[in-house]
Structure 1
Amino acid sequence: MSASRLVIFYAMFAAISIAANIGLQKLSLITYSGAFSVPLSVVVGTGGGLVVKFLLDKLWIFRYQHRDLSHGIQSFLLYTVMGLATTAIFWGFEFGADAIYHSEPARFTGGVIGLVIGYVVKYRLDKKFVFA
């Protein structure tokens, strides 16, 4: 895949994953509005976005084949570990915006900014360590 196509596809898949993440957060907030609803929604969104992005990256960006189920699970776990640092970036922006502005739109905007930065970092980590 050419570099320009790679950037376009990766950005498109990041956008799909971001939409899944923020959409699941909103759905979680609609479903549950009790104690710790915001942190719970962020965890739900993060998990959903992680699965969507893993599948898209595996199939389309890296065109990666697992040898067997065990190897697939190992790859997903490594992908998840690589995502911990980028999740810290994402959550830092999302919770930082919430702490500063105290509004859902600001929190979601911070989340999107954090996700974009995190995905740039994550591509490099995944290319070197997960799908090498």
Structure 2
Amino acid sequence: MTRATLVFRYSVFAVLATLANLAAQRLVLAAVDGEIGFAMAVIAGTGAGLVLKYILDKRWIFDDRSTGLAAHGRKFTLYTIMGVVTTLVFWGFETAFWLIWRTDPMRELGAVIGLAIGYVIKYQLDLRFVFRTGMARPERRAQP
């Protein structure tokens, strides 16, 4: 896979996971108010984005075609662990924007910024520790 294809796919998948995250948050926030609603929304959104991104990354970024509960369980566990630090970055930005501006558009902007930073870090961690045998290393062209 070329670097351009890799960056394009990874970016599209990050956007899809971000949209899934924010959609899940909106559903929870529509049903539950206050700080409890906010906490529940952040957790639900994180879960929705995590599962979608794992499914897409496993196949289309890292070309991991392993099957079975054991393989998925191990990789999803590692994938989730690699996401803990990046999730803290995302939650930090989203929460900071919420605490500063107290508006949903600014909360979502903070979420988008945090997720973007987190996804860049997460790719490197996933490449190194989760999907070591996949195709996520872009092809290098010979220099003239």
- With normalisation by structure 1, the TM-score equals 0.96
Moved over 3 A (4+): none
Unpaired segments ≥5 residues, structure 1: none
Larger radius of gyration: 2
Alignment partner of 1:121 is 2:114: no
Q: Mapping of 1:10-25 within 5 angstroms?
A: 10-25=10-25
1:73 paired residue number: 73
Unpaired segments ≥5 residues, structure 2: 133-144
Deviation at 1:33?
2.3
1:37 paired residue number: 37
Q: What is the letter of the counterpart of residue 24 of structure 2?
A: L
Larger RCO (alpha carbons 8 Å, 6+ apart): 2
In 2, Cα distance between equivalents of 1:113 and 1:12: 15
Residues matched between the structures, number: 132
- Greater shift, 30-39 or 11-20, is seen at 30-39
Deviation at 1:71?
1.6
Q: Deviations over 1:1-51 (max 9, x none)?
A: 100010001000000000000010001111222551001100000000000
Q: What is the letter of the counterpart of residue 107 of structure 1?
A: R
RMSD (Å), alpha carbons: 1.0
In 1, Cα distance between equivalents of 2:94 and 2:49: 15
Q: Could you say which structure has the higher helix fraction?
A: 1
Identity of matched residues, %: 45
